[in-house]
Amino acid sequence: MFVERNIGSGHLVSKGWIEVVAGSMFSGKTEELIRRLNRALIAQQSVEIFKPAVDKRYSKTKVVSHNNSKITSTPVGFVRDILLQASHCEVVGIDEAQFFDDGIVEVANQLANEGKRVIVAGLDMDFRGIPFTPMDRLMSIAEYVTKVHAVCMHCGDVASYTHRRTKSKKTVVLGEKDIYEALCRKCFNESRKAQSKT
């Protein structure tokens, strides 16, 4: 089980580690990331938050959750930028990590090796239910992995899948409730089947 460490000490984090928060869209990944980062801020730890510059859905410079909690972030074009910009801080938050390339794995390791607490949030599967690289690799190297779940928009059960309601086959299509819905395994499989027939 994940237990928040080094919270409230106010001291430098001496040993680094990686935490991953993974799940479907609307599962509360960003909410959970913001909650952990806010607690680090309360503990007076120095915090930097990054998100991929391609994700401009709500705000260019803020990480915003679907229930509208926010935290100021730095948009980055390349994963390497994170290393430079996080050099001074103790806690590093990264949202929408699935939009970064594989370099994020090495960057997360390097930051943790430098003694930082690295908290990464992102989609674990794409719209086909296939593991989303590099999140799968980040989950492998992390000390702590938390899977969060949404509510199935068809039956109200626990949802782990992100269903794309349109027929585009591109892996990345930026969108919200207009394009995506959270579904449980059964409703996801039924929807994919019905979609393939149309």
- The residues annotated with a catalytic role in the active site are 96
Tokens 């059964």 sit at which residue? 186
Compute the least distance from the CB of residue 41 to ligand ADP, in Å.
18
- Torsion-angle region of 107 (φ positive above 0: left; ψ -120 to 50: alpha; else: beta): alpha
Compute the least distance from the CB of residue 187 to ligand ADP, in Å.
11
Q: Does 73 contact Mg ion by CB under 5 A?
A: no
Binding residue (CB under 6 A) for ligand ADP from 14, 67, 196, 198: 67
Interface with Mg ion (CB under 5 A), residue total 2
Q: Does 30 contact ligand ADP by CB under 6 A?
A: yes
Q: Does 30 contact Mg ion by CB under 5 A?
A: yes
Q: Is 192 exposed, middle or buried (0-12, 13-18, 19+ CB in 10 A)?
A: middle
Question: Which 3 state secondary structure label does DSSP give 99?
Answer: helix
Q: Does 27 contact ligand ADP by CB under 6 A?
A: yes
Find which of Mg ion, ligand ADP, none residue 16 binds, CB within 5 to 8 Å per kind. Answer: none
Compute the least distance from the CB of residue 95 to Mg ion, in Å.
6
Which CB atom, from 110 or from 145, has the smaller least distance to Mg ion?
145
Q: What Å distances lie between residue 52 and 13, 23, 151, 193, CA to CA?
A: 26, 18, 26, 32
Q: Does 182 contact ligand ADP by CB under 6 A?
A: yes
| Alpha-carbon dihedral sign for residues 59, 177, 96, 48 | positive
Compute the least distance from the CB of residue 37 to ligand ADP, in Å.
13
Binding site for Mg ion (CB under 5 A): 29-30
Q: Return residues touching ligand ADP (CB under 6 A).
A: 23, 25-31, 65-67, 150-151, 153, 182
